[in-house]
Structure 1
Amino acid sequence: MRELDPGIRRGCAALLASGVVVTLVVIPGAATAAPTAAATAVCRVADERLDEISGLAATDDGFVAVNDGSDEESRRQIFFLDADCAVLRTVRFPSRPRDTEDLAVTADGTVWVADIGDNDRARDTVALWVLRPGSRRPALHRMTYPDGPHDAEALLVTGDGRPLIVTKQGGAAGLYAPATPLRAGATVPLSRVGEVRLPDSTTRNPYGFFGRGLVTGAAGAPDRRRVVLRTYADAFEYDVPDGDVIAALTSGRPRVVPLPDEPQGESVTYSRDGRFLLTVSETADQPPGTRPTILRYPLPSAPAAAPTRPAPAATSVGPGTRPGAAPAPANRRQSGTAAVGVGVVGLAVAALVLLGLALKRRRRR
């Protein structure tokens, strides 16, 4: 994502002018929130080719990163950085990727790049680029959704090597995994294997209410017993005690790590010791001279969270469905109060849909 679409600004202005007050329905005990801890700067990415970092993974000697989709060929590469954020080397794609939005590095050193962005819901296929250790270029694996195009920005790879895509949409985010083994140069079908509803929050972020509910990145911990999803505002960490990532996301209770006021936070990874979350924001539309800075947040030392009852299934997402079309999730707080605020719930849902429809990213194509 590059910057807030003007349509959102117009939508927000219209809502304010109309005097609509959104009702918040509060469900106690939805998540365990960590105290807000100040982020620590790890290093600053000075290389001018990296100003739209959409995927980041920590390695033993530094980081791996990819840019969001870009018209500039020099930026369409996999970048390997040292611990000080200096670029050590790059690997080019053998053909042009469409919209690289996330990446993961598995225990054997394989780099998975998620070419899954689709702002206009127009792609027939999405793709994973897989760079094996010792390979000089990544192999392309195409996939197709069973229920029409989706925009997505988050990738997890389970302990048994199965990729899992998390869609970017209001309400319940869809979870999709290949229905058959991936084959280089071939297209395989995806299956919808579940959905995840994030708890609500009040964390400050550039996109306000709806910026707190759209998944923009994901990562797995080095011990394989935790995974994290992030939005523009927060990180949600789930325990995976038995290796079942899908069960953890669909029925687990996350711990919440606020990531306040990040300019355009789309990337998240664990530190190599698993004690911290590392994030970085895109800076292409920030003031001149602003460079991406990797930030470090401490993780709460909480025991495994008790599972919660799975949320009701959302309305099915079909071909051409746009963001926000799924029912909005219940807004949840830790307070024991049953409900707060005034207004009409229907108007609140309509507002979310309107803003979701406006949430598009402008790209240099």
Structure 2
Amino acid sequence: MNRIRSTVPVSVAALLIVVLAFSAAEAFESPPVTEPVRDTNGTVVGQAEIAQLGELEDPKINESSGLAFSRRSEDIIWTHNDSGDGPFLYAFDLAGRSRGTFAVERAPAYDWEDMAACEIDGVAHLIAADIGDNKVARDFCTLYIVEEPEVGADISHTGKLSIVRRIDFQYEDGKHDAEAIAVDADGASIYLITKKSKKNLPCHLYQLDIPSESTTNPVTARIVCEVDIRKVVAMDISRDGSRMIVLTYDEALEFERAPDESWGTAIQKPPRQLPMPWRAQGESICYGPDNDTLYLTSENTPAPIWRVRTVPVSPAPAPAEENAEGAEPQP
């Protein structure tokens, strides 16, 4: 995995200095900073509020590489480490307090890069994506689907999770490195965006239908369209299916989808560029239950947890009316 430093907005960097004054052991929320939301031409089209909610207290989470907001709780987020850790899923609350560590049984962790949460047949599930391929040499990649366990708000749990479905897959056009997956709102399709290819060909958005059972042979992820986005490290789709966030080392791009529109069409439209806080190695992002708020972590220790949400733009004050010199005031 490449180690590339993100751009640091001045005001967000100042916020980071304030945050570091707090004790890592305490739950805290930093004073929010408001930054502009821009279109691809740099025009301000809105504003977003950025705040650090806390730090992940579990020292085992040292390379948070994927995020998924729980479908069973309004206060739980799931993550996993990058390559080098075992097949573990970690739960934490919005203040960063540990709420559980679960091992996925019979699931090798070759290079887990992202994860997603979804409902399949009305049941909450988590998907761990073993899709990293830095050398672009893997014969197939694997997705592990497990039922999301219930974790309490005041206690940390440990346990094991059985694989509900294992999906081995190949890309229709050859081998690729990827670090980003998302599940559509209907829980029927998984989308991936590649990071690089063996011959430095264009990156693409791929679609993979979720099979009803584990696959015995690799299934095919089909090309949806080419995307002009480089070094994609994470993505997510909002629960209502109206938004897709695509994270790179340098920016976060949000695409909006109309009710009758495909993602292949939506991702070709100009996105909004959302401001992001500086992170030492930010490769994770997910939507919250409100379909708007975003949560982020990073791969350093202790890992911060950030919240980014759009806020209404304050209208400019109306100019005061002035009477002409010598004119009688209007009744």
How high is the TM-score relative to the length of structure 1? 0.63
CA distance in 1, matches of 2:202, 2:272: 18
Match of 1:178 in 2: 208
Give the Cα separation in 2 of the matches to 1:262 and 1:171.
Answer: 29
C-alpha deviation, 1:115, in angstroms: 1.1
Query: Any residues of structure 2 matched to 1:189-200 within 5 Å, and which?
Result: 189-198=220-229
Aligned equivalent of 2:146: 131
2:118 to 77, 98, 106: 106
Q: Alpha-carbon deviation of 1:256? A: 0.7
- In structure 2, the residue matched to 1:153 is 179
- After superposition, the Cα gap between the structure-2 partners of 1:277 and 1:180, relative to the gap in structure 1 and judged at 3 Å, is closer
Cα gap change, 1:46 to 1:133, in 2 (>3 Å): closer
The one-letter code sitting in structure 2 at the alignment partner of 1:100 is W
1:30–1:253 Cα contact (<8 Å) kept: no
Residue 184 to residue 46, structure 1, CA distance change in 2 (3 Å)? same
Larger Rg computed on CA atoms: 2
Judge conservation of contact 1:180–1:188 (CA < 8 Å) in 2: no
Q: Give 1:69's aligned amino acid.
A: S
Q: 1:166 aligns with which of 171, 190, 193?
A: 193
Kindly tell me: are residues 181 and 3 of structure 1, through their superposed partners in 2, closer, same or farther at Cα, counting changes over 3 Å? same
Distance verdict in 2 for CA 1:61–1:239, change over 3 Å: same
**Alpha carbons of 1:174 and 1:230: their partners in 2 closer, same or farther (altered >3 Å)?**
same
Q: Partners in 1 of 2:213 and 2:44 — Cα distance?
A: 41
Give the Å deviation of 1:181.
3.4
Q: Are the counterparts in 2 of residues 51 and 282 from structure 1 also a CA contact under 8 Å?
A: yes
Distance (whole Å) between structure 1 residues aligned to residue 82 and residue 241 of structure 2 = 26
Q: Distance in 1 between matches of 2:209 and 2:241?
A: 22
- Return the alpha-carbon distance in structure 1 between the equivalents of residues 266 and 202 of structure 2: 11
Give the stretch that moved more between structures: 158-167 or 105-114. 105-114
2:133 aligns with 118
Identity %: 27
Identify which range, 88-97 or 119-128, moves more after superposition: 88-97
Q: What do you get for the CA RMSD once the two structures are aligned?
A: 2.8
How far the C-alpha of 1:214 sits from its partner, in A, is: 1.5
| Structure 1 gap ranges (5+) | 6-27, 199-212, 284-289, 303-365
1:123, CA displacement in angstroms?
Answer: 0.4
Indicate conservation of the 8 Å contact 1:154/1:215, yes or no: yes
Retained in 2: the 8 A contact 1:125–1:143?
A: yes
Of 267, 275, 300, which aligns to 1:258? 275
Residue in structure 1 matched with residue 252 of structure 2 by the alignment: 235
CA change 1:157–1:243 in 2 (3 A) is farther
- Per-residue CA deviations over 1:222-281 (Å, capped at 9, x if unaligned) read 322111101112211111122645234442221110225321111111122233221111
Q: Which amino acid aligns with 1:194?
A: C
More strand by share: 2
Structure with the largest fraction of helix: 1
8 Å CA contact 2:4, 2:281 repeated in 1: no
Aligned to 1:42: 53
Q: Which residue of 2 aligns with 1:143?
A: 169
Q: Over residues 8-67 of structure 1, what are the superposed CA-to-partner deviations in whole Å (9 max), with x where a residue is unaligned?
A: xxxxxxxxxxxxxxxxxxxx9657655675631112112111011110122322101111
Give the aligned residue type for 2:293. Answer: F
Secondary structure class of the residue paired with 1:106: strand
Q: CA contact under 8 A between 2:118 and 2:183: conserved in structure 1?
A: yes
> Which residue of 2 is the match for residue 3 of structure 1?
3
Kindly report structure 1 stretches of 4+ aligned residues shifted beyond 6 Å: none
- Secondary structure in 2 matching 1:46: coil
Q: Distance in 2 between matches of 1:127 and 1:37?
A: 35
Are the structure 2 counterparts of residues 250 and 271 from structure 1 closer, same or farther at C-alpha, using a change threshold of 3 Å? closer
Q: In 1, Cα distance between the equivalents of 2:270 and 2:98?
A: 38
Change (3 A) 1:249 1:33: farther
- Is this contact kept in 2: 1:237–1:254, CA < 8 A? yes
Taking a change above 3 Å as real, the CA distance of residues 180 and 233 of structure 1, as seen in their structure-2 partners, is closer
